[in-house]
Amino acid sequence: MLNPTQYQNLYDGLLKKNIELINSPASYKHCHYLPESYHKIQSKTPKSNWTKEIDHDAICKLTREFGERSIIVKDFVKSEKHKWNEACFIPNASDSDKVAKIVNKFIELRGNSLNEGLVFRQFEALEQLTVHSKSGMPLTKEFRIFFAYKKIVKVFYYWDEGDYGETKPELDHFVEIAKTIDSDFFTMDIAKKKNGDWIIMELGDGQVAGLPDNADRHEFYYKLKQSIPKSSS
Ligand SMILES: Nc1ncnc2c1ncn2[C@@H]1O[C@H](COP(=O)(O)OP(=O)(O)O)[C@@H](O)[C@H]1O
Ligand SMILES: [Mg+2]
């Protein structure tokens, strides 16, 4: 995925050739970095905090806010979810040794790809789907919704493994939140909690978000084209 500076360069370069990408650089950043859009999704997403300063004091201050709850660590964009137990999931936020161990491993694995800083998020018990056949990470009932011009283009199963059964997301509230997001093309990943509530996992820019393997690509791009207002095409 492009970082915001790379996107800005691409955007400016294409504009010189009379090609205007669907999202401005500001819109790209809005969905790419969790802290940028957190205030818009706050009512429906796990409590989160973040720091650009990666030092012991900053990490302690942030993790302390979660008491003894379980949390996950990621950067402003990505997690190391496939290294779930070593570099993502922290069972007890007040266990400072464990916090340091997981965060250090996370930073080591992200290496030069670390985006901006650290984000801590309250862990929510999600409805189980299966475990990932390669990494063993717990897979839960998550969906990826693509929005273009504030309307749903398509809702996909996020994972290509496991049986979602009859589970279907209730979308009305998410469509309302989507109307407030400053982007013309983005994804919203949502998940079902064990208690039946639905939450937003994260947003992403639609141009760099992956289509799941289960996606019918022809249908998706056809629907995307249809969703572009005539004045913009
Ligand atoms: N707060 C949370 N509570 C429960 N599960 C989570 C939480 N955050 C992340 N996960 C799990 O980890 C996965 C990866 O997290 P995500 O924020 O989407 O990072 P990435 O950008 O690497 O995909 C999610 O799809 C979800 O299964
Ligand atoms: Mg994700």
CATH at 94: 3.30.1490.20
Nearest ligand to residue 130 Cα = 1
Label residue 166 by pLDDT band (50, 70, 90).
Answer: confident
- Looking at the fold, whether 38 and 61 belong to one and the same domain comes out as no
- Looking at the fold, whether 139 and 179 belong to one and the same domain comes out as yes
- DSSP classification of residue 126: B
Phi-psi region of 67 (alpha: psi -120 to 50; beta: other; left: phi over 0): left
- For the stretch 138-149, pLDDT in tens is 889 999 999 999
Q: Is the CB of 81 under 6 A from ligand 1?
A: yes
- Looking at the fold, whether 142 and 167 belong to one and the same domain comes out as yes
Q: Of 123, 138, 153, at which residue does a domain stop? A: 123
Give CA–CA dist 187/177, Å, rounded: 12
- Looking at the fold, whether 223 and 140 belong to one and the same domain comes out as yes
- For the stretch 9-49, pLDDT in tens is 999 999 999 999 999 999 999 999 999 999 999 999 999 99
- Looking at the fold, whether 52 and 18 belong to one and the same domain comes out as no
- Looking at the fold, whether 163 and 150 belong to one and the same domain comes out as yes
Question: What is the Å distance from ligand 2's center to 146 Cα?
Answer: 13
The pTM (predicted TM-score) of the whole model is 0.95
Domain housing 54: 47-123
- Count of structural domains within the chain: 2
Give CA–CA dist 198/200, Å, rounded: 7
- Looking at the fold, whether 136 and 221 belong to one and the same domain comes out as yes
pLDDT of residue 103 exceeding 60: yes
Q: Token match 């997301």: residue?
A: 169
Give CA–CA dist 147/127, Å, rounded: 24
Label residue 90 by pLDDT band (50, 70, 90).
Answer: very high
**Phi and psi angles of residue 147, each rounded to the nearest 5 degrees, phi first:** -115, 135
pLDDT of residue 232 exceeding 70: no
Q: Of 123, 145, 169, at which residue does a domain stop? A: 123
- For position 133, what pLDDT does the model report? 82
- Looking at the fold, whether 153 and 202 belong to one and the same domain comes out as yes
Label residue 58 by pLDDT band (50, 70, 90).
Answer: very high
Q: What's the CATH code of the domain at 26? A: 3.30.470
- Looking at the fold, whether 30 and 75 belong to one and the same domain comes out as no
- Cα angle for residues 31, 66, 189 (degrees, 5° grid): 30
Q: Is the CB of 79 under 6 A from ligand 1?
A: yes
Nearest ligand to residue 77 Cα = 1
- Looking at the fold, whether 192 and 133 belong to one and the same domain comes out as yes
- For position 131, what pLDDT does the model report? 86
Question: What is the Å distance from ligand 1's center to 73 Cα?
Answer: 9
Question: What is the Å distance from ligand 2's center to 205 Cα?
Answer: 12
pLDDT of residue 233 exceeding 60: no
Cβ neighbour number for residue 54 with a 10 Å cutoff = 13
Give CA–CA dist 21/210, Å, rounded: 18
